[in-house]
Structure 1
Amino acid sequence: MNETYPRGADTASRGPISGERHGKRGDPGVNGIIHRLSSGCQCRKLPERFSPWLTVHKRHMLWSAHGTLERLLQAVADASSKARRGQAEFV
């Protein structure tokens, strides 16, 4: 899925990654953040397959400060829990 999200002052109401420009392979930085969280690596040491390290770092700090990262990870955990119970909703 390669959607372009609109930019503007009201992008916060459109979801956790709305208004973001997509980096490599349509990745708005989420994969780099998840890799960083799971491996403990420094942003500057991210493999090249992720968005640029500075982009990942800035988004990680911004999303953490605003609670977006917590909401995103909670949504993933909820979906995983539903899938284990056989109640998954695939879109």
Structure 2
Amino acid sequence: MEIAVGGDDFPAQLAAEYGYVNRVLPEDELDDFVDTFARRVAGAIPAGDYAAALAAFKRTAGRPENADHVRSLFERGLQQPDGIELDVGKHVAEKL
């Protein structure tokens, strides 16, 4: 329940203990692992299915009732390395 409704991020070891992740990697191995995994997954998804899923996400995220919240997230540093990305779960759950 904490994971599903809390919206918080967890340190790697705690996430592994909870069964929230299936592996914890040293930081210096993470980029190569993620790149290899993402390429494998992307190669298995038909382009039309991906495009339809992305369009559905954009329709939902772009709803007028979400606009103020999304704008606030970007103003506070969403998708910026020094912004709220380091604790994004907490910030996404915050009300304006």
TM-score (structure 2 length as normaliser): 0.29
Q: Highest CA radius of gyration, 1 or 2? A: 2
More helix by share: 2
| Higher RCO by CA contacts (8 Å cutoff, separation 6 or greater) | 2
TM-score (structure 1 length as normaliser): 0.30
